[in-house]
């Protein structure tokens, strides 16, 4: 195949649907910019649970809206066979000599009979008059380059006798070449403009770097001035250290008195049955507000006394925190529920234990019956039990894992395709990634700073109060709470062991029994 023929084939392929291999009918474009007949694409997606491009296989999170590609649309009517009697079949070719259209069956004599094989056949057209000379009623077989028009053989020897005439096929080949050259020019113009955009972005980036350098220089100068002012301020503070010592000791004694009052209050709370009141005042109890930051104060003459009081203060605070955490965990565990995994919702690469208490990830798809409840793209599984009132609590062992998702989800969540975990989408979830990165799936996500790596995570839900809280059970510490939520349908515990991460994330998620 020569270069021109190859280019003509390429251009033809660009106006053909890669699904049915015919010229486009109502052509539409996918988000990945591949083109198909509208009917071909709809048939493909109507028979599938996922939506991906039939050409490049790119998957879309939801079914894209299809719009007609007007640049590729062909306004071509269907031409029928002139010979068929009862049911008219679609014409395959038209004969310029016979001036008739033929289906595949009735075209056969033109391929077999010697006198008919000499006839000129063209692709079917709706208006055959455009292919005949209106004066001589002969086929337009020649092209006059002087007058830039198609002519018949009689025209060529009369009105165009001394003109430069060539066969229509030859001129068409020349025009194809010009068209391909034009296409090459257009593509080059596109590349030139893409490069121009890149140049503009590069120039803007370099200008931004220059501005940042200048800003950094100014910042360093400001820091140097602040350091000088800070040294001067510290010298003044040291001169006033003696007088300050008595005031600091007095403040520390007042705070110790306040902490003892809190200790008494906690002792009273440990015997109360008012669970809601306990949860409401929990944030104010766990973080007492002090008036001073003692770690930043150093007074030479009274250093020993202040340091002794500070250590006693810290020890007392740790004791109170431990007592409060123990009380809160004990109250929440009263609402523990027996939770089991629902195999009808499990992603096909998840393995559930026989008792439905453990879930791990597999390297292969497990053959499962597809149903509306099953997640088909994200590695998730729900609990069998759902809750639409009151309070409930469950604990999950996450020891040995580098990645996991835990939380609750409402019954009507989307379970097909890509999923974005957030309260707006019906998910209240905390995740761990890469062994030490914890985030609450808010919109946007909130990074969590934890003092230690949880081995067991407790999840507490108060349906009426719109509260979902997460706790490190062993450390008896609060991780995060979604507050002020509005629940209107069943909530189901949600679990994800994530993928194996190259063998680093093999441990299962284990739902612990109610104790």
Q: How confident is the model at residue 407 (pLDDT cuts 50, 70, 90)?
A: very high
Checking if the pLDDT of 86 tops 60, the result is: yes
Least confident span in 98-102, 134-138, 220-224, 438-442 = 220-224
Mean pLDDT for the stretch of residues 377-390: 94
> Is residue 477 a contact partner of residue 325, using CB atoms and an 8 Å limit?
yes
Q: How confident is the model at residue 76 (pLDDT cuts 50, 70, 90)?
A: low
Mean pLDDT for the stretch of residues 332-353: 93
Q: How confident is the model at residue 63 (pLDDT cuts 50, 70, 90)?
A: confident
CA atoms of 357 and 353, how far apart (whole Å): 6
Residue 62, CB half-sphere, CA atoms under 13 Å: how many? 5
- Sheet strands side by side (includes 93-95): 100-102, 93-95, 121-122
> Is residue 375 a contact partner of residue 415, using CB atoms and an 8 Å limit?
yes
Across the chain, mean pLDDT equals: 80
**Which two structure tokens, joined as six digits, stand for 153?**
């053989």
Read off the pLDDT of residues 23-47 as tens digits, 9 standing for 90 and up.
Answer: 677 788 888 888 888 888 888 888 7
Checking if the pLDDT of 508 tops 90, the result is: yes
What integer pLDDT is reported at residue 209 of this predicted model?
Answer: 60
Q: Which residues contact 253 (CB under 8 A, 6 or more apart)?
A: 309
Pairing of strands 51-52, 59-60: antiparallel
Q: Which residues contact 28 (CB under 8 A, 6 or more apart)?
A: 35, 36, 37, 38, 41, 66, 67, 68, 69
Supply the Cα-derived Rg of the chain in whole angstroms: 40
> Is residue 17 a contact partner of residue 37, using CB atoms and an 8 Å limit?
yes
CA atoms of 448 and 423, how far apart (whole Å): 17
> Is residue 436 a contact partner of residue 398, using CB atoms and an 8 Å limit?
no
Of 388, 379, 390, nearest in space to 349 by CA: 379
Which stretches within 240-289 are classed as H helix? 241-269, 275-286
What integer pLDDT is reported at residue 461 of this predicted model?
Answer: 95
For 29, the enclosing helix (H) or strand (E) is strand 27-29
Residue with tokens 């069943």: 490
Mean pLDDT for the stretch of residues 407-435: 94
Residue with tokens 């997460």: 470
What integer pLDDT is reported at residue 394 of this predicted model?
Answer: 97
Read off the pLDDT of residues 208-222 as tens digits, 9 standing for 90 and up.
Answer: 566 555 655 555 565
> Is residue 427 a contact partner of residue 461, using CB atoms and an 8 Å limit?
no
Residue with tokens 């004599």: 109
> Is residue 94 a contact partner of residue 124, using CB atoms and an 8 Å limit?
yes
Read off the pLDDT of residues 191-246 as tens digits, 9 standing for 90 and up.
Answer: 877 787 777 777 766 765 665 556 555 555 655 565 566 566 656 655 665 566 66
Q: Which residues contact 77 (CB under 8 A, 6 or more apart)?
A: 126
Least confident span in 137-146, 159-168, 179-188, 496-505 = 179-188
Q: How confident is the model at residue 311 (pLDDT cuts 50, 70, 90)?
A: low
Q: What is each CA distance from 216 to 212, 219, 224, 229, 261, in whole angstroms?
A: 6, 5, 12, 20, 50
Whole-number percent of the chain with pLDDT over 90? 33
């Amino acid at each position: 195949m020569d270069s021109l023929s190859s280019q003509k084939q390429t251009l033809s392929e660009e106006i053909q649907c890669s699904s049915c291999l015919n010229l486009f009918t109502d052509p539409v474009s996918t988000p990945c910019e591949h083109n198909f007949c509208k009917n071909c694409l709809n048939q493909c997606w109507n028979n599938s649970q996922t939506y991906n491009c039939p050409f490049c296989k790119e998957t879309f999170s939801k079914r894209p809206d299809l719009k007609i590609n007007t640049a590729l649309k062909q306004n071509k009517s269907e031409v029928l066979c002139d010979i068929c009697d009862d049911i008219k079949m679609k014409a395959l070719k038209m004969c310029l000599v016979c001036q008739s259209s033929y289906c595949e069956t009735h075209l056969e004599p033109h391929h077999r009979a010697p006198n008919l094989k000499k006839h000129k056949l063209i692709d079917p057209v709706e208006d055959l008059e455009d292919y005949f000379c209106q004066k001589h009623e002969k086929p337009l077989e020649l092209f006059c380059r002087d007058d830039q028009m198609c002519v018949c053989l009689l025209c060529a020897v009369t009105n165009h006798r001394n003109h430069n005439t060539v066969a229509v096929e030859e001129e068409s080949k020349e025009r194809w070449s010009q068209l391909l050259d034009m296409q090459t020019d257009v593509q080059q113009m596109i590349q030139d403009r893409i490069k121009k955009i890149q140049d503009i972005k590069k120039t803007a980036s370099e200008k931004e770097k220059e501005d940042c350098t200048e800003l950094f220089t100014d910042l360093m100068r400001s820091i140097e001035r602040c350091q000088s002012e800070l040294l001067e301020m510290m010298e003044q503070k040291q001169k006033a250290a003696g007088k300050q010592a008595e005031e600091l000791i007095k403040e520390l004694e007042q705070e110790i008195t306040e902490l003892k009052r809190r200790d008494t209050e906690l002792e009273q709370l440990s015997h109360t049955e008012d669970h809601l009141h306990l949860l409401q005042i929990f944030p104010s109890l766990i973080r007492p507000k002090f008036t001073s930051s003692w770690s930043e104060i150093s007074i030479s003459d009274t250093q020993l006394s202040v340091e002794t009081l500070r250590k006693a203060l810290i020890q007392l605070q740790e004791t109170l925190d431990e007592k409060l955490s123990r009380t809160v965990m004990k109250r929440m565990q009263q609402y523990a529920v027996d939770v089991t995994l629902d195999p009808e919702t499990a992603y096909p690469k998840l393995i559930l234990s026989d008792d439905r208490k453990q879930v791990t990830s597999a390297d292969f798809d497990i053959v499962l019956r597809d149903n509306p409840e099953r997640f088909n793209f994200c590695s998730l599984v729900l609990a069998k039990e759902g809750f639409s009132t009151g309070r409930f609590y469950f604990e999950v062992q996450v020891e040995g894992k580098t990645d996991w998702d835990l939380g609750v989800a409402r019954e009507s969540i989307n379970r097909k395709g890509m999923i974005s975990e957030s309260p707006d989408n019906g998910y209240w979830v905390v995740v761990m990634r890469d062994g030490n990165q914890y985030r609450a799936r808010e919109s946007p996500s909130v990074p969590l700073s934890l003092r230690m790596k949880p081995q067991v995570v407790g999840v507490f839900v108060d349906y009426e109060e719109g509260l979902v809280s997460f706790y490190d059970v062993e450390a008896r510490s609060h991780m995060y709470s979604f507050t002020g939520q509005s629940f209107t349908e069943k909530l189901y515990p949600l679990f994800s062991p994530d993928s194996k991460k190259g063998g680093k994330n093999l441990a299962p998620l284990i739902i612990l029994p109610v104790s």
